[in-house]
A and B are shown apart, each in its own frame.
Chain A
Amino acid sequence: MLEVKNLSVNYYVDEGTVKAVAGVSFDLKEGEILGVLGESGSGKSTLGYALLRLVDQPGKIVGGEILLNGRDLLLLPEDELRRLRGAKIAMVFQDPFAALNPVLTIGEQIMESIILHQRATRREARGKAVEALRAVKIDPARIDDYPHQFSGGMRQRVVIAMALACRPEILIADEPTTALDVTIQAEILALLREIKAQFNLSIIYITHNFGIIKELCDRVVVMHKGKIVEAGETRTIFDHPRDAYTKKLVDCLRELR
């Protein structure tokens, strides 16, 4: 459903040009969870932003295609793209503290994108927000609470509810559990699996944690210095890495075990 061809993103900084994403190609199949694995600086987060054309200055998408059901997102005019963000492709970020507006109730924040994208009335939007909260297992009675009234894990659920509100086809999750305790992390991962089935979502899960990839993802692409060095079934890559970098990573993790 999503096909990325030869995507390149450069950052133009004082020291010169950094090729953060250097000719990356992969595809996301319907209903799968695809892992993007990489260390810091590998370009994995830039890739996530680029898929929504959210790369900021001094970064620039300099080439390639992002085909969503055959349409190239890189060729769409900005207003059309804006209709698509959140509606067809949604994103969840690492830090649920930063992703929520502290002075708005969570209901307002979930309703915002529903009203924008679906031209819904407030009453309709509120109904959908309640549904979204149920999907992430938050008591809908809390719809008028503020972010600070929730724990870190609950806040990440709210953020996921926001992302789900418009029933997107694709969810991009960029290290959504890194800031959370391991038991809460396990709950969020279980939740992602559940909503994937329930909403027929396809998920791109970006992380540096091979353990999470192993648990969650059907396939994985390994990024290193802006390039995909290896791609395939998670199990295969874990048991028989072919690329030198992936091998080194797997050896490293085996040593820690």
Chain B
Amino acid sequence: MIEIRSITKKFGDLIAVNDLSLTIKQGETLGLVGESGSGKSTLARLILKLIEPDSGQIDCQGIDNIRRECQIVFQDPQNSLNPRIRVGEAIAEPIVIHRLLNRSAINGRVAALLEMVKLPAGYAKRFPHELSGGERQRVGIARALAGEAKFLILDEPVSALDVFIQVEILKLLKELKTRLGLTYLFIAHDLSVIGYLSDRIAVMKGGRLIELGDKKTVLTTPREEYTLKLLAASPRF
């Protein structure tokens, strides 16, 4: 679905993403692991075409409108929602911007999206501060889906949440993926939650992709020393 070919992005002297090639297959969840500064967020911004690469290409097959069909769910739902805009309006915004529905049909669609992320329809009238962290993350997901997205980048979507809520959100993401036939790129800085959703796992370090393999292999018998180090460092339960 997404084919990244030898992409490089520099910021001044810093090579944030260095000659990286990677394919994200239709319908899979690709886990992307790396420490801060490894270039994973830059890669996410490149895929979404929020920034342009210095060289290399990214092809998105089956995507007509990248701004609508490729979406991102951020780590901190507190910061990604406008505190002065009601939840319903925040979710409706992509529908309005992309002129997907008539005014009259929007409320019904917002209610359906809320139902999809298991929030009561009445939440449309609430402000973000009236919601818990987990509920706000559900709103973030509903808004990402509002424009009928096919591909979601999940950028540390549960790292700011408590364990119980983490599990709920991960379960919801898994369910939505099956129900809507979505493709995910799931970014995390440690390996402890990435196994739950991912089919394959990619490891980035210093702007390069250093390891890529199916979940089980990467989590049990990785090829790279660095991946072993990451595994050893992740305090696991």
Contact = CB atoms under 8 A, between A and B. Distances in A.
Interface residue range, chain A: 20 to 34
B237 A256 contact: yes
A142 B193 CA distance: 37
Contacts of B190: 182
A210 interface: yes
A14 interface: no
B210 to A, nearest CB: 14
B162 A211 contact: no
A13 to B, nearest CB: 15
B233 A249 contact: no
Interface in B17-76: 35-36
Contacts, number: 62
B35 A183 contact: yes
Given A181-B189, A186-B232, A257 B237 contact: yes
B194 to A, nearest CB: 10
B166 A39 contact: no
B215 to A, nearest CB: 12
Interface in A32-82: 39-40
Interface string A158-190: 000000000000000000000001110110010
Contacts of A18: none
B104 to A, nearest CB: 39
A40 B230 contact: no
A252 B234 contact: no
A183 B162 contact: no
Given A186-B232, A256-B195, A256-B196, 6 more contacts: A40-B162, A210-B237, A211-B237, A212-B235, A253-B237, A257-B195
Interface of A: 39-40, 181-183, 185-186, 189, 208-212, 214-215, 248-249, 252-257
27 contacts: A39-B162, A39-B164, A181-B35, A181-B36, A182-B35, A182-B189, A182-B191, A182-B230, A182-B233, A182-B235, A183-B35, A185-B235, A186-B232, A189-B235, A208-B163, A209-B235, A210-B163, A211-B192, A211-B236, A212-B235, A214-B235, A249-B163, A252-B164, A253-B163, A253-B237, A254-B237, A257-B195
